[in-house]
Structure 1
Amino acid sequence: MDAVVKSFSPRTALKPSESAPRPTREEAEAAVRTLIRWAGDDPAREGLLDTPKRVVKAYEELFRGYREDAQDIMSKVFEEVGGYDDMVVVRDIPFHSHCEHHMVPFVGAAHIGYYPSEGVVGLSKLARVVDVFARRLQTQETMTAEIVGAIDEALKPRGVAVIIEAEHMCMSMRGVQKQGARTVTTQFTGVFRDDPAEQARFLTMVRGLR
């Protein structure tokens, strides 16, 4: 997954329209009750009475990324860095997302590196950018490219490197049911793409300093 990010157009929430307005909370809860019945249970029994409300509330949290903008998060850039122009790496950023094909979780960690050009961003902002894209219906490949594109657009760095490792429940809980299998995706821009030695240095910083 080392392709060049040619353009960046993050996916956002659909805009409500007259032909396809966003469902109401009541409609969303009714949909959960339908799924409970389809699964073979009774949404009217005591243990499930409040489940639709809980599910809808949980969805608001799990998919809050549709209501967030990565560029807003990275809008504050610090230009005074005391002459520092070497690689910045934040590794082991935990995340949980949901596969857009089966709507079941995939869980893992992201590792981000970049070479500053016009300044640096607060380190916590990189973790928040991961969450913006993780908290949407996703594929790991798209999520990797979206994180790279957002950092590239906001910071104009000399290069960005991202590695994502995750276990997909759609592979471990269903289908082939291979627990523990992990998927790794990578994407590089700028000096990381052009110079294999910089890729190797980034990988060493991610893997070799544990």
Structure 2
Amino acid sequence: MSNHHNHDADDDELDGYLKIDRYNEGLINTIAHSYTNILGALGEDANREGLLKTPERVAKSLLYLTHGYDLNPEEILKSAMFKEEYSQMVVVKDIEVYSMCEHHMIPFFGKAHVAYIPNGQVVGLSKIPRVVDAFARRLQVQERLTNQIRDCIQETLQPLGVAVVIECRHLCMSMRGVQKQNSVTTTSAFTGAFLLEKTRAEFLHLISSKLS
């Protein structure tokens, strides 16, 4: 059984995406108790009306924001793989990314662009964003997140190449007094055919262009 959630048969139909608050009550209570102490350490009164349920809300929020630990990205891909003799680039761009910086536990968010060149196997297009989310909903650094998505697709699909570009704003920069508050961090990771400049340039053109 997962540490975070109590699963039932209906969860399989949601492909690992729990739509309602259904968490391990003991874990909620443990995290909530810690946040009650944190509120006190900050000089707050955890018993005042506005904060009475805050520790429990924070506990549930954190469990949701890190529910990627309970997902298996490889199995998400394997659930929708099928043989197809298509050998052109498949690009899924503008995938929303929401994650938590592991250094300060403050969110970073933005877009991911993912491409692969099939080698006899393709995957249902909806599974690519779900793989991104499975890795993003953990304590992360953007560089590792980028590599994990690349490696998962490469190792599971065995395509001719994988490309991943992630563009994010980090609230740990903009909220903590760092200058250039509107800056965007871009990371990229490539395998196989995308190590060739021509193929990589085609991918970068596709993710930067707008459909007419």
TM-score, normalised to structure 2, is 0.84
Q: Which amino acid aligns with 2:54?
A: T
- Whole-angstrom CA distance in 1 between matches of 2:105 and 2:37: 16
Contact kept, 8 Å, 1:108 with 1:166, in 2: the verdict is yes
The equivalent of 2:200 in structure 1 is: 199
1:74 aligned to which of 57, 74, 77:
77
Cα deviation, residue 26, structure 1 = 2.0
Offset of residue 179 of structure 1: 2.0
Structure-1 separation of matches of 2:39 and 2:111: 32
The CA distance in 1 between the partners of 2:46 and 2:180, in whole Å, is 32
Which of the numbers 46, 50, 53 marks the counterpart of 2:49? 46
- Please say if residues 110 and 169 of structure 2, whose CA atoms lie closer than 8 Å, have aligned partners that are also in contact: yes
Report the equivalent of 2:158: 156
Pick aligned residue for 2:135 from 112, 133, 136 = 133
- Aligned-partner SS, 1:56: helix
- Give the structure 2 partner of residue 122 of structure 1: 124
1:99 aligns with 2:101: yes
Equivalent position of 2:185 in the other structure? 183
CA contact (8 A) 2:100 2:107 kept: yes
Q: CA deviation at 1:177?
A: 4.5
Larger displacement relative to structure 2 (66-75 or 26-35): 26-35
1:27, CA displacement in angstroms? 1.9
AA at the equivalent of 2:111: A
- When normalised by structure 1's length, the TM-score is 0.85
Report SS of the residue matched to 2:108: strand
Counterpart amino acid of residue 78 in structure 1? F
SS of the residue aligned with 1:151? helix
Q: Name structure 1 gaps, 5 residues minimum.
A: 1-12, 14-22
Deviation per residue, 1:67-125 (Å, 9 max, x gap): 0000110013121x3x4210000000011100000000001000000000131101110
Aligned-partner Cα distance in 2 for 1:177–1:35: 29
RMSD of aligned Cα (Å)? 1.4
Supply the distance in 1 between the matched residues of 2:27 and 2:73 (Cα, whole angstroms).
Answer: 26
Structure-1 residue corresponding to 2:91: 89
SS across alignment from 2:111? strand
Match of 1:18 in 2: none
Q: Give the whole-Å Cα distance in 2 for the aligned partners of 1:191 and 1:97.
A: 29
Number of the residue aligned with 1:17: none
Give the whole-Å Cα distance in 1 for the aligned partners of 2:43 and 2:72. Answer: 39
Q: Provide the rounded CA distance (Å) in 2 between the counterparts of 1:86 and 1:68.
A: 29
User: Which residue matches 1:28?
Assistant: 31
User: Does the CA-based 8 Å contact 1:118-1:155 persist in structure 2?
Assistant: no
Residue 65 of structure 1 is matched in structure 2 by 68
Higher relative contact order (CA 8 A, sep 6+): 1
